[in-house]
């Protein structure tokens, strides 16, 4: 076994590998960019080395730098994690040339599976079922058009290289073929430098089923069963589970098919691995509809969702990787493997589902995770106070639950999501809770169109709470406590401690003492009056009537509030001039309105509130499931309207030129941030007069990316 390994990655997967290495007595070496100098994986490793600036191509993708660090640190092997260089055959070869073990498959296996077209041709020869389609070398329009017509509608035009939904177009009728081929080819060329396309039959309600396989250098290959990864957004997985609903074994409580389909898919996955001389951990992905399944691709690395397999098998897949890479045989044979219970994983992202899953950046001002144990696991790469930057993947953590059956796992998932608290960035927690509570999810009716089909129920932002006296009372009492603490501090430092102005109470001459507070929640501003009582209790005058707070106390565990005799547990977080009341994991924002603020401050606060209101209204009105993103409209110079960057990002592609006449909805520029591409479209018809930023430029939030000619005269006349 190795004495020291380097992890060529960051975030939660780096922390995950470090944990197993430490348990096995293996020293760990972390690498980090300048942006990750204080990151969690750096803190947990035995040693950490800098490898360059924040952009990944200058740090986490810099092969020569990483190899040099490994040699200087004395690492015998490199674990690539997933993403970055994990499926880079050149990196695997560079490791071998440097005398360092690459903890992954041979370079030849990586290359064989790197091209979807060549991989499908190889699988066809190996007898692995394929989706009807075309993956030949001829790429002329006539050949591709004939392939679409032969496959039938709907058909899928997709890039042979890459993944993540880039370079994909669905064709539903003959008139769409030309645009689909041109669009997919252009996007593939820009994203991957390879415009080779393939054609497939588009399945209407498929499930995404993948098989976890493991192989050693001695020819032993096993299937560690399947995972269902059907619930996706923008072709990216959101929730994964094992075993797959509908593929449960006899004797388990979830109804469904027997072991027949599982065995057939497992055998097909092992044939895939055998065909390319595979060694290590790999995942063979299938698309399934009914009892039919078809090969999609093989991921030649450990998957993000590997914890659900670990939970149902009781195995540590990273340990298996290390042992196989060190030359050992597989720890267990196929007949020694079994499934125990059901596991579900939810990926928690810093993103806004209501804004087409736009990544969100910021500092994790407050982060409280669910209680963990044998049934609840958290794999995270960040902690409270860390920043979510525009440079890397926006995943905050993975929440994994394990129950004796799927019903218990779904209940555990819902309960754990209700305990998750995050303030500082937008997250997909609301979406995950909505999925966990959806009746179709509960009964296992899953396919890749789940989120799109249920978009209205899943993606509509939750509003309300302004009439909930508990939320308003908690916000008011927290603010009241802050005011009293500030007054008490002022009294303690007063030169005249006997002055009535230095007394921290609500005493008033010839009247009842009270404190008025003005809070704004959603679209409503309200004045709440608090009447302190001598015994420490308070009476609150709310719009719906008075309530009595008999006691309230804030501690590390949150606020315990006894209101009209009923005890409530919640939390109040102070952030950016607001009180965020968290109840059952959901954030309710109450903004503090200061009636005595000077005009400048009042104006600034008003502008901020109006901006927040516009943003919320835009969320509510946007259509669900749209694929293009509208940037903001610059308003600083109304005579020169501009399309502005919604978040800090890199300019990936500029799709138009100065002087072009564009129509509303036309794609103008593509930004890349946090491993996600955003296509910004024209907000109206007009003429482009300036494109201040070129490809690869880094832009800040609010940067003017596209400037339009001013005035209605510049607008394109509508047909």
What are the CA-CA distances from residue 29 to residues 57, 62, 109, 176, 300 (Å)? 20, 16, 27, 52, 23
DSSP element (H, E) containing 403: strand 395-403
Give me the mean pLDDT over the 384-413 stretch. Answer: 95
Kindly tell me if the per-residue pLDDT of 438 is higher than 90. yes
Q: How many CB atoms lie within 10 A of CB 214?
A: 25
- 616 found inside a domain: no
d(CA 142, CA 134): 13
d(CA 644, CA 630): 9
- Virtual CA dihedral for 179, 180, 184, 187, nearest 10 degrees? 40
What does the pLDDT look like over 528-565, one tens digit per residue? 999 998 888 999 998 889 999 999 999 999 999 999 99
Count of structural domains within the chain? 5
- 403 found inside a domain: yes
3 CB-contact burial (10 Å; exposed 0-12 / middle 13-18 / buried 19+): exposed
Q: In the 3-class helix/strand/coil scheme, how is 83-111 assigned residue by residue?
A: CCCCCCHHHHHHHHHCCCEECCCCHHHHH
Annotated catalytic residue: which of 10, 185, 301, 347?
Answer: 301
Q: How confident is the model at residue 136 (pLDDT cuts 50, 70, 90)?
A: confident
List for the chain the helix, strand, coil content (%; round to 5). Answer: 30, 30, 40
What does the pLDDT look like over 304-343, one tens digit per residue? 999 999 999 999 999 999 999 999 999 999 999 999 999 9
CATH number at residue 146: 3.30.1490.20
Domain range enclosing 151: 132-201
Kindly tell me if the per-residue pLDDT of 413 is higher than 90. yes
Domain boundary among 440, 459, 478: 459
Q: How confident is the model at residue 118 (pLDDT cuts 50, 70, 90)?
A: confident
Please provide residue 493's backbone torsions phi and psi, each rounded to the nearest 5 degrees: -95, 5
d(CA 642, CA 636): 9
Determine the pLDDT at residue 605.
38
Tell me the chain's radius of gyration from C-alpha atoms: 28
What value, to the nearest 5°, has the Cα angle with vertex 218 and ends 224 and 300? 50
Determine the pLDDT at residue 504.
56
What does the pLDDT look like over 604-619, one tens digit per residue? 333 444 445 444 444 4
Residue 333 backbone class (left: φ over 0; alpha: ψ -120 to 50; beta: rest): beta
Q: Decide if 433 contacts 415 (C-beta within 8 A).
A: no
Between these two residues, 6 and 158, which has the higher pLDDT value? 6
d(CA 506, CA 84): 60
Q: pTM value?
A: 0.83
Same domain for 347 and 253? yes
Same domain for 511 and 442? no
Strands 704-708 and 642-644: antiparallel
Determine the pLDDT at residue 624.
33
d(CA 152, CA 170): 12
Tell me which residue has tokens 């103008």: 668
- 114 found inside a domain: no
Same domain for 335 and 452? yes
Give the three-state DSSP class for 277.
coil
- 55 found inside a domain: yes
Same domain for 499 and 453? no
CATH number at residue 259: 3.30.470.20
What are the CA-CA distances from residue 648 to residues 446, 680, 697, 703 (Å)? 35, 14, 11, 8
Q: How confident is the model at residue 693 (pLDDT cuts 50, 70, 90)?
A: very high
Determine the pLDDT at residue 142.
93
Same domain for 257 and 290? yes
What does the pLDDT look like over 186-232, one tens digit per residue? 878 766 778 899 998 888 888 999 999 999 999 999 999 999 999 99
Share of the chain above pLDDT 90, in %: 61
Same domain for 350 and 412? yes
Share of the chain above pLDDT 70, in %: 87
Same domain for 376 and 345? yes
Same domain for 241 and 360? yes
- 376 found inside a domain: yes
371 is catalytic: no
- 113 found inside a domain: no
- 603 found inside a domain: no
Same domain for 647 and 569? no
Q: What strands, in cross-sheet order, belong to the sheet with 698-699?
A: 676-681, 667-673, 649-654, 698-699
Same domain for 194 and 282? no
Give me the mean pLDDT over the 342-360 stretch. Answer: 93
Domain boundary among 103, 119, 145: 103
| Tokens representing residue 653 in the block | 């592609």
Instruction: Identify the CA nearest to 247 among candidates 221, 225, 231.
Output: 225
Same domain for 481 and 413? no
What does the pLDDT look like over 32-59, one tens digit per residue? 999 999 999 999 999 999 999 998 999 9
CATH number at residue 58: 3.40.50.20
- 625 found inside a domain: no
Q: Which of 160-164, 314-318, 504-508, 680-684 has the lowest mean pLDDT?
A: 504-508
Kindly tell me if the per-residue pLDDT of 601 is higher than 80. no
CATH number at residue 501: 3.30.700
Domain boundary among 178, 201, 224: 201
Same domain for 408 and 284? yes
Instruction: Identify the CA nearest to 242 among candidates 309, 289, 338, 318.
Output: 309
Give me the mean pLDDT over the 620-631 stretch. Answer: 39
| Tokens representing residue 622 in the block | 């946007």
């Amino acid at each position: 076994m190795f004495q020291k390994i380097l992890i060529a990655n960051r975030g939660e997967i780096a922390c995950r590998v470090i944990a197993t290495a430490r348990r096995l007595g293996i020293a760990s070496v972390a690498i980090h960019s300048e942006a990750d100098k204080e990151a969690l994986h750096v803190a947990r490793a035995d040693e950490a080395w800098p490898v360059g600036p924040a952009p990944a191509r200058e740090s986490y993708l810099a092969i020569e730098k990483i190899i040099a660090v490994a040699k200087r640190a004395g690492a015998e092997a490199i674990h690539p994690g997933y993403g970055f260089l994990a499926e880079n055959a050149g990196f695997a070869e560079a490791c071998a040339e440097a005398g360092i073990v690459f903890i992954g498959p041979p370079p030849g296996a990586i290359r064989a599976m790197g091209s979807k077209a060549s991989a499908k041709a190889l699988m066809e020869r190996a007898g692995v079922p394929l989706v009807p389609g075309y993956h030949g070398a001829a790429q002329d329009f006539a050949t591709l058009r004939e392939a679409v017509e032969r496959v039938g509608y709907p058909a899928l035009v997709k890039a042979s290289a890459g993944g993540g939904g880039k370079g994909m177009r669905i064709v539903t009728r003959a008139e769409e073929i030309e645009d689909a081929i041109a669009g997919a080819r252009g996007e593939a060329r820009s994203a991957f430098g390879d415009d080779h396309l393939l054609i497939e039959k588009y399945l209407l309600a498929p499930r995404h089923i993948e098989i976890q396989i493991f192989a050693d250098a001695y020819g032993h290959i096993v299937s560690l069963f399947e995972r269902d990864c059907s619930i996706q957004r923008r072709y990216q997985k959101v929730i994964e589970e094992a075993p797959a609903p509908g593929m449960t074994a006899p004797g388990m409580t979830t109804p469904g098919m027997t072991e027949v389909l599982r065995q057939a898919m497992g055998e097909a996955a092992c044939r895939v691995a055998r065909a390319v001389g595979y060694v290590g951990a790999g995942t063979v992905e299938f698309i399934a509809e009914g009892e039919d399944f078809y090969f999609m691709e093989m991921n030649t690395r450990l998957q993000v969702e590997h914890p659900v397999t670990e939970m149902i098998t009781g195995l540590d897949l990273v340990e298996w990787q290390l042992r196989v890479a060190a030359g050992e045989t597989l720890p267990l044979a196929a007949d020694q493997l079994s499934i125990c219970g059901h596991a579900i994983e939810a990926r928690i992202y810093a993103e806004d589902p209501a804004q087409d899953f736009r990544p969100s950046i910021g500092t994790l001002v407050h982060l409280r995770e669910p209680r963990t144990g044998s049934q609840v696991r958290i794999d995270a790469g960040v902690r409270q106070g860390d920043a979510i930057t525009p440079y890397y993947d926006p995943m905050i953590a993975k929440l994994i639950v394990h129950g004796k059956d799927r019903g218990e796992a779904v209940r555990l998932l819902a309960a754990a999501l209700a305990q998750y608290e995050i303030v500082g960035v937008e997250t997909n927690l609301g979406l995950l809770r909505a999925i966990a509570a959806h009746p179709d999810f509960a009964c296992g009716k899953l396919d890749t169109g789940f989120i799109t089909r249920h978009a209205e129920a899943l993606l509509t932002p939750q509003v309300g709470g302004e009439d909930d006296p508990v939320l308003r009372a908690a916000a008011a009492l927290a603010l009241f406590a802050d005011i009293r603490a500030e007054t008490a501090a002022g009294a303690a430092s007063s030169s005249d401690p006997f002055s009535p102005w230095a007394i921290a109470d609500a005493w008033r001459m010839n009247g009842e003492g009270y404190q008025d507070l003005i809070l704004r929640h959603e679209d409503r501003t309200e004045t709440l009056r608090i009447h302190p009582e001598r015994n420490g209790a308070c009476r609150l005058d709310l719009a719906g009537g008075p309530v009595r707070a008999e006691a309230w106390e804030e501690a590390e565990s949150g606020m315990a509030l006894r209101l009209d005799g009923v005890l409530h547990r919640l939390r109040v977080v102070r952030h950016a001039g607001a009180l965020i009341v968290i109840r059952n994991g959901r954030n309710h924002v109450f903004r503090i309105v200061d009636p005595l603020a000077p005009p400048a401050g009042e104006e600034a606060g008003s502008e901020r509130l109006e901006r927040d209101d516009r943003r919320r209204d835009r969320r509510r009105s946007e259509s669900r499931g749209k694929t293009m993103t509208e940037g903001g409209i610059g308003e600083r110079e109304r005579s020169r309207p501009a399309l502005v960057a919604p978040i800090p990002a890199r300019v990936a592609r500029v799709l138009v030129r100065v002087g072009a006449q564009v129509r509303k909805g036309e794609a103008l520029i593509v930004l890349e941030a946090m491993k996600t591409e955003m296509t910004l479209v024209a907000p109206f018809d007009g003429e482009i007069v300036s494109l201040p930023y070129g490809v690869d430029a880094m832009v800040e939030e609010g940067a003017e990316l596209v400037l339009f000619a001013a005035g209605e005269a510049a607008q394109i006349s509508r047909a």
